[in-house]
Structure 1
Amino acid sequence: MKLKILYMLLFMLPFLSNAQTRKMTTGEVTAFQQSLKRSAQIKTLSADFVQYKHMSFVKQPITSSGKIYLKQPDRFSWSYTAPFQYKMVFRNNKIFIDDQGKKTSMDIGNSKQFEKISRLVSSSMRGSVYDEKEFTVSYFKKGEVNLLKLLPKLNDTKKYIKEIILVFSSSDTQVEEVTLVEPSNDYTRFVLKNRKVNAQINDSVFNL
């Protein structure tokens, strides 16, 4: 059960080619980091998502979709609605799961790995500034689009994550794509749509 949830968590984090990309200049990095700090002040976030799971033994990506809700400081809801129904809620240092009507819960307070990944999930969705003690952070431009690449430094994280790529909207500097590359080079790409920032979110969203 724990391994299944851990992989589901990892799949929440959003592969892009390096073609036509360039590293940001020092000035561009400074300006971009300032925009990340502003994004870190987001109180609520809701969005629809489409997930594309790419695996080496499957020709076409496996596609699913759903909805996310984030409410500071510690509430996060992730729901798959098609082609199956599966919901996870992070609240009060616990994970609550509804797997097509089968409800379970887990205390993640005693698991540093679960806690770290859950923080990484919500931070990625908000585009927060990242701890460079845990990640090697590289900043890129692709046309007008900003890309942020994270390479984990810690061995326990490297077991599950090879690289994380964040793509930011050129219009509002918010995260619009997140890609997780696994050590096997399989990867999962998330595209966020209909993003709403700092809109009111009813607390019932974080219940099962």
Structure 2
Amino acid sequence: MNRLLAFILLLVTSNVVLAQEVAMNASEIEAFKQQVNMLSKNTNTITSDFVQYKHLDFLENDIETKGKLAFKTPGLVRWEYTDPYEYSVVFKEDKLLINDGGTKSNVDIGNSEMFKKLNNLIVNSVKGTLFNGDDFLITYTKTKDFNKATFVPKDKKMAQYIASFELLFNTKDGTVKEVKMIEPSADFTRIVFSNRVLNGPVSDAVFTN
């Protein structure tokens, strides 16, 4: 279970060199939230490639893995790591469907409030919709290239695993370009999305694992 929790935490992360980052004012925040929420309402599926960078303080170089993401409303998510190893997890209803290089297992998360919150965190991070809740303290900043929302969990149990996490959005279309999770130790994980396709065909079979 500890390994599974660590894996889930790896899914919610990003890092970027910040230049001229300034706080948004109230009207900018409202416009930004409306842009993201409108995009979310009109998005039924997402597919994307991603590169994940895991930063550990004792390692000279970040650990890099590559994979593919698939999302389908209302809450189906598949994370598939393809390089340098094969590992996939499907979030489906109250289940985690795991395929570790051909070894398959299911985990029931229906009775775990922590896993439910983490699942919602992952789904809403993919969609970019985390603004309408009481679980986080949220701050909003911007540069000429991106808008950023930083979330600090209020729940003490979640704060044991996540100190904060950040979502970076394209300023032009409101899509999520990077996600970053910072652990209490200051280690962090970063996911950078590319080749994102919205509302393309995604079969339900993708989420069977």
Would the TM-score normalized by the shorter structure come out above 0.5? yes
Q: Distance in 2 between matches of 1:11 and 1:180?
A: 8
1:77 maps to 78
What amino acid is the match of 2:78? S
1:31 maps to 31
What amino acid is the match of 2:63? I
The 5-angstrom pairing of residues 15-30 of structure 1 reads 15-17=15-17, 19-30=19-30
Q: 1:25-48, CA deviations, whole angstroms, 9 ceiling, x for partnerless residues?
A: 111001001012113312111100
Q: Distance in 2 between matches of 1:193 and 1:17?
A: 18
Q: 1:153-178, CA deviations, whole angstroms, 9 ceiling, x for partnerless residues?
A: 11011011011111111232100100
The 5-angstrom pairing of residues 44-63 of structure 1 reads 44-63=45-64
User: What TM-score, normalized to structure 1?
Assistant: 0.95
Q: Distance in 1 between matches of 2:49 and 2:36?
A: 21
* Structure 2 residue ranges without an equivalent (≥5): none
1:137 maps to 138
1:121 maps to 122
3-state SS, counterpart of residue 194 of structure 2: strand
1:13 maps to 12
Task: Judge which range, 102-111 or 32-41, deviates more.
Answer: 32-41
Q: 1:43-81, CA deviations, whole angstroms, 9 ceiling, x for partnerless residues?
A: 111100000000000011000000010111121101000
The 5-angstrom pairing of residues 159-198 of structure 1 reads 159-198=160-199
3-state SS, counterpart of residue 64 of structure 1: strand
Residues 39 and 127 of structure 1 are in contact (CA less than 8 Å); yes or no, is this contact kept in structure 2? no
* Structure 1 residue ranges without an equivalent (≥5): none
What amino acid is the match of 2:30? T
2:113 maps to 112
Residues 86 and 99 of structure 1 are in contact (CA less than 8 Å); yes or no, is this contact kept in structure 2? yes
Q: Distance in 1 between matches of 2:37 and 2:171?
A: 16
Q: Distance in 1 between matches of 2:118 and 2:130?
A: 15
What amino acid is the match of 2:161? Y
In the TM superposition, residue 18 of structure 1 has moved relative to its aligned partner by 5.1
Q: Distance in 2 between matches of 1:90 and 1:152?
A: 22
What amino acid is the match of 2:66? S
In the TM superposition, residue 206 of structure 1 has moved relative to its aligned partner by 0.7
How many correspondences in the alignment?
Answer: 207
Is residue 99 of structure 2 the alignment partner of residue 98 of structure 1? yes
User: What TM-score, normalized to structure 2?
Assistant: 0.95
Percentage identity across paired residues of the two chains? 35
In the TM superposition, residue 133 of structure 1 has moved relative to its aligned partner by 1.7
Q: Distance in 1 between matches of 2:18 and 2:146?
A: 13
